[in-house]
Amino acid sequence: MDVIAQLCQERDRARQTASEKIRQLQELTLEYVNAIAAETASAARLDQMIATLQQGAAYPQGQGQPDRRVAADASGRATASNARPPRRPKRSTAPYVPGLVAQVILDALSKAGPKGMSGREVNETVEAAGYTLDASEKNKTRLKKNNLIRHDPKHQHWYPIDPT
């Protein structure tokens, strides 16, 4: 009977050790998952900042924000004598492209030329650029509505529309 009792004790210790190792693995996994999530969120914030700066820059490159300082007179009220009016950016002759994914699609279609691209090829190009399938579909629809690309339902291909 001592042999059976010893084997049971040894089995219980092995199960307890395995349970402890599983708990440690779960803690490490959770720690790494949290670290990955934090880094991914940080990268996404930086992507958003970059996209905002690339797309929504209200002023041409090389010019800063206009000086909006207003001089104050002796009574402390603001006077407009030293204030400069805000500068407006020059109008671009290029068509407006509503986002980074849309730009990826337009670039891919312009490289494809007159043969165009299948919907799947466009989606793969967008996914290769690091965006989702959903972003590809939404931007294809938006570009089509803005008359920047067209879809041929017969051949199931997308083609760029010449802006001229």
Q: pLDDT value at position 7?
A: 92
Positions of the chain with pLDDT under 50: 58-71
Q: 50: which residues sit within 8 A by CB, 6+ positions away?
A: none
pLDDT of residue 151: 92
Strand boundaries in 3-88, DSSP class E: 71-72, 78-79
Rounded to two decimals, the pTM is 0.43
Tokens matching residue 89: 């950016």
Decide: 68 and 83 in contact? Cβ < 8 Å: yes
> What is the structure's pLDDT at 40?
85
- pLDDT digit string (tens) for 95-127? 566 688 988 998 899 898 888 999 999 999 999
